[in-house]
Structure 1
Amino acid sequence: MATIEKKSFWQQYGSLILILGGIIVGALIGAFAPSVGTTIKPIGDIFLNLLFTIVVPLVFVSIASAVGSMANMKRLGKILGSTIGTFIFTGLIAAACVLIWVNLFSPSAGTNIDMTVTEAGEAKTAAELLVSSLTVSDFSDLWDKSNMLPLIIFAIIFGFCVSACGGDESPMGKLLNNLNDIIMKFVGVIMLVAPLGLGAYFANLVATYGPEIVGDYGRSMLVYYPLCALYFIIFFPLYAFLAGGKQGVKVMFKHIFRPAITAFATQSSAATIPVNKEACDSIGVPEDVSDLVLPMGCTMHMDGSVLSSIVKIAFLYGIFDMQFTGVETYAMAIIVAILSAFVLSGAPGGGLVGEMLIVSMFNFPAEAFPIIATLGFIFDPAATCLNSSGDTIASMMVTRIVEGKDWLMKAMAAKKTEQA
C-alpha cells in the first residue's frame, strides 16, 4: 500500500492566502488610490459575471442530478426535512441572539439623521409575496439568478421525474451526471483568477463607498459587525460540534474561511455556492446532501440576514423615538426578519425587497426606506459572509442527521483509502 502524502501548508491554504491577499491589496488600493480602484472595476465585474453565469446551471444540474439518482425517495425526504429544520433552528438562535444584543447595545444611540421623504414603492401582499417567491410566470424566468427558489423547486420536481424514468441509468440521468462534473471543472477554472477578480472588485467597492460607511451610521456598524464576529466564533463551532464532534470543529475551521472570504468580498450567496461546494467535498459531505442544501441555503439559510434585519428594525425604532420592547414586538420582529431573509435573492446587496417588507409591515413612514436601504448596504458584506459560510456547516448538520453520528470519521477513512 502506498504511503499517504501529507499536504504542505501552501497546498492546504495557498489559495485562501492568495484570495485574502488580493482582497487586502484591493482594499488598500481603493482607500489610498481610489481612481485606480474605479479604473480596475471591470476586472472584478468580469470575475463576478463568470461566477453568476455558472450559478444557475450549477444549481439546476446539481439538484436535478442528486434527486434523479436517488432510488430511495425516503432519503430525499429526510434530506429535505432535515435541511428545512436546520435552517429554522439556526435562524431562531440567530434571532434570539440579536434581540438580546440590541437591548444591550442600541444601534441608534446618538444618531442624528436628516429625514428625506422618498417613495418606497408599493408593497406586495402576503399572498403576492408567496407566489412570487415560489414560482415564476414564464419558463425563461427560471434562468434568472434572482429567481433562485423557483429554480430549486423546478429542479427538485425535474429530478424526481428523472428518478421515476430510469434514474442514473437513463440517458438524461447520465447526461446530468456528466454535466455536473463539467460544471465543477468549470468552477475550478474560474476560481484560478479569484484573487485578481476579488481584489479588483473590493478596490472599487472601497473607492466608491468607503466615505459613506462612517458618520451617522457608524454606531450601527459598531453594534452589528461585532455581533456577526461573535456569532461566527461562538455558534459556528457549536453547530460544527453538533454535526461532527471535536473533529467537526477542526474540519470546519480548516475549510470555512475560503467561502466566508468569498462571500464577504462578493456580497453574494449565489456567487459563493461553487466555493461552498468545494468545501463540502473536501470535508466529506455526501454529494446528494450538498447538492440540495447549498442551493436551498442560498435563498433560505440566512442567519446573517436575520441578525441584520432585527438590527435594522431596532435602529428605525430608535430613530423614530419608539420603544423596541415587548413580546409582541419581538415576535413580529422575528417573523419579519425570517420573511425578509427568505425572499432575499443571491445577488449582491440582496435586493430591496426585504427592506420594503420591514418598512411596510411595521408601518414606518416612507422616509424610513432610504435609511434602511443604506443600512442594508453597510451590513451586507458581514450578513452574506454568515449566510453563505453557514451553508457549509448546515450541510454538515444535515449529514449528521441523515448519515448518523459517525459520518465524518467514515468520510475521512474513505478519503485516506482513496489516497492510499
Structure 2
Amino acid sequence: MAKQNTPLSIFLKNYSDILLLLGGILAGSILGLVFGKGVEVIKPLGDIFLNMLFTAIIPLIFFTIATSIATLEKTEKLGKLFSIMLAVFLGTVIVSAVVMILGVLLFPIHQEIILSKVPLETIQESNVGTQITQLLTVNDFSELLTRKSMLALILFSFLIGFATLRSGEKGQTFKNFLKSGDEVMKQLLHLIMKTAPIGLGAYFAYQVGIFGPQLFGTYAKPLGLYYAVCGFYFIVFFSLYAFMAGGKKGLTVFWKNNITPSLTALGTCSSIATIPANLEAAEEMKIPNHISHIVIPLGAPLHKDGSSTGSIIKIAILFAMFGKDFTEPSTLLLALGITVIVSVVEGGIPNGGYIGEVLTITVYGLPMEQALPAAMIIGTLIDPMATLLNANGDLVATMLVARISEGKKWLSKNLVA
C-alpha cells in the first residue's frame, strides 16, 4: 500500500534542510546566551565549516563565471548584462544609503560615545595606480587562489571564459571541462552545506556569547536605530525589488528561497561565504545560470547595500561624538559618495579591512586616533546585519537583472519550463 502524503509530510520534505538549519542556529544562540564567553570552546566547529566553504569558493567562482561566459550564445549579451548589472548595483546601493540617511534624520543620534581602546590595524599607504593594480591583478598565478585576490580571480575567470568562447570548436574540450568542473563544485557545496546546522550553530553561539552584551551597552541607541532601519529596508525594499522583478510570483519565490542565504550571511558575516547558498537559491528560483553565475560572484565584492547603510550610521555616530552637524546638505552628499566607494573597495572577508572607516575619517578631517577605534567597534557590531543586506541583496539584484535583460515574463517562462 502506497504511503499517503499528508500536508505535514510534504512540508517536512520541502523544508527539512531549513528546519535543521534553524534548529542548529537556535540551539547555538541559546548556548551563547547561557554560557557567554564560554562558547569559545565550540567556535572551532564554526571555523571548520567556514574554512571548508572558503576552500571550495575559489574553484567555484572560477568554474561558474568561466562556464557562464564560455557558453554564451552571443558575445553582445555580455556587454548588455554588465551594463544592467552595474546600474542595478549602483541604484540599490544609493537607495539603501538614502533610507539610512532618512532614518538618522528622523531619529537623530545625540549621545557621547565612550572611546574604547582597541589595537589599530596598520594601513599601508600607496598611490591610486598601485592600489588599482593590486585590486585587479596579481603577479603570480598562485596568488589568484586566495580570497584577498577576489576581483583579480573574477577578472581572470572572465578572460578564460571569453577566450574559450572565441576558441570555437577547437576549445570545445576545454568548454566541456569547465561544464564538468561547474557541476562537480555544485555537488561539493551540497555536501558542505549538509554540515551547516552544526557550523552555523557554533558561529551563532560565538556571535551571541561574545558580542551580545555590547549591543546593550554604550552603543545601544545607534545600533538599535541601525538594526531597525536595516530590518525595514530588508523586508520592505527587498520585497519591492522582488515584486518589480517578477510580480507576485517573484515575491513568493524570493521569500521562499532566501532563508538559507540569509541565515548563512548572519552566521558567517561574510558575503563570500554566502555565494554558494545564493547560487543554490538562484537555481531554485529559476534565474538563468548565465545571469546568476555572473551577478552573484561579482556582487559579493562589489554590491553592498549593508556596507552602504553602515557607512552612513558610522558617519552619523562619529559626527555625534565630535559635535558636528550631520544634517548639512554638503555632508549628506559627501556621505552618499563615500558609501558608493566603500561598496566597491570593501572585501567580503568577515570584519576585514578598514578602508571605509579610514576614508570616512580622512575625508571629514576627524582625529584618526580617536575616531578609528570607535568606527572599528561599530563596524564589528553591525557586521551581521550589514552582511545580510550585502549578501541577500545580491540575490534580489540578480532577479532584477533577469527581469531587465530577459523581459517581463522571464520568471513565468522558467517556472513552466
Q: TM-score range by the shorter chain?
A: over 0.9
- Counting only pairs closer than 5 Å after superposition, residues 27-66 of structure 1 correspond to structure 2 as 27-34=29-36, 36-66=38-68
CA distance 1:373–1:54, change in 2 (3 Å) = same
Task: Give 1:240's aligned residue.
Answer: 242
Which AA in structure 1 matches 2:391? S
CA deviation string 1:261-306 (max 9, x = no partner) = 1101110101110000111000100001000000011011101110
Which AA in structure 1 matches 2:307? S
Which AA in structure 1 matches 2:52? L
1:103 alignment partner, SS class: helix
Deviation of 1:255 (Å): 0.8
Match of 2:202 among 200, 203, 212: 200
User: Are the aligned partners of 2:211 and 2:381 in contact in 1 as well (CA < 8 Å)?
Assistant: no
CA distance in 2, matches of 1:253, 1:14: 16
Give the superposed CA RMSD.
2.0
Deviation of 1:211 (Å): 2.6
Counterpart check, 1:389 vs 2:392: yes
Q: What 5-or-longer segments of structure 2 have no aligned partner?
A: none
User: Are the aligned partners of 1:68 and 1:167 in contact in 2 as well (CA < 8 Å)?
Assistant: no
CA distance in 2, matches of 1:190, 1:398: 29
User: Are the aligned partners of 1:147 and 1:345 in contact in 2 as well (CA < 8 Å)?
Assistant: no
Task: Give 1:77's aligned residue.
Answer: 79
Task: Give 1:361's aligned residue.
Answer: 363
2:349 alignment partner, SS class: coil
CA deviation string 1:174-197 (max 9, x = no partner) = 101000000000000001110011
Counterpart check, 1:277 vs 2:279: yes
- Counting only pairs closer than 5 Å after superposition, residues 223-262 of structure 1 correspond to structure 2 as 223-262=225-264
Match of 1:146 among 148, 168, 174: 148
Counterpart check, 1:110 vs 2:111: yes
Identity within the alignment, %: 37
CA distance in 2, matches of 1:31, 1:167: 60
User: Are the aligned partners of 1:79 and 1:398 in contact in 2 as well (CA < 8 Å)?
Assistant: yes
2:274 alignment partner, SS class: helix
Task: Give 1:371's aligned residue.
Answer: 374
Query: Structure 1-normalised TM-score?
Result: 0.93
Aligned residues: 409
Match of 1:407 among 402, 407, 410: 410
1:33 alignment partner, SS class: helix
CA distance in 1, matches of 2:177, 2:282: 23
Deviation of 1:327 (Å): 2.4
Which AA in structure 2 matches 1:384? T
CA distance in 2, matches of 1:115, 1:205: 19
Q: What 5-or-longer segments of structure 1 have no aligned partner?
A: 415-420
Deviation of 1:325 (Å): 2.2
CA distance in 2, matches of 1:241, 1:261: 22
Deviation of 1:335 (Å): 1.2
CA distance 1:136–1:356, change in 2 (3 Å) = farther
CA distance in 1, matches of 2:108, 2:169: 55
Deviation of 1:257 (Å): 1.6
CA distance in 1, matches of 2:387, 2:214: 19
Deviation of 1:411 (Å): 0.7
Task: Give 2:133's aligned residue.
Answer: 131
CA deviation string 1:57-79 (max 9, x = no partner) = 11111001110111301111121
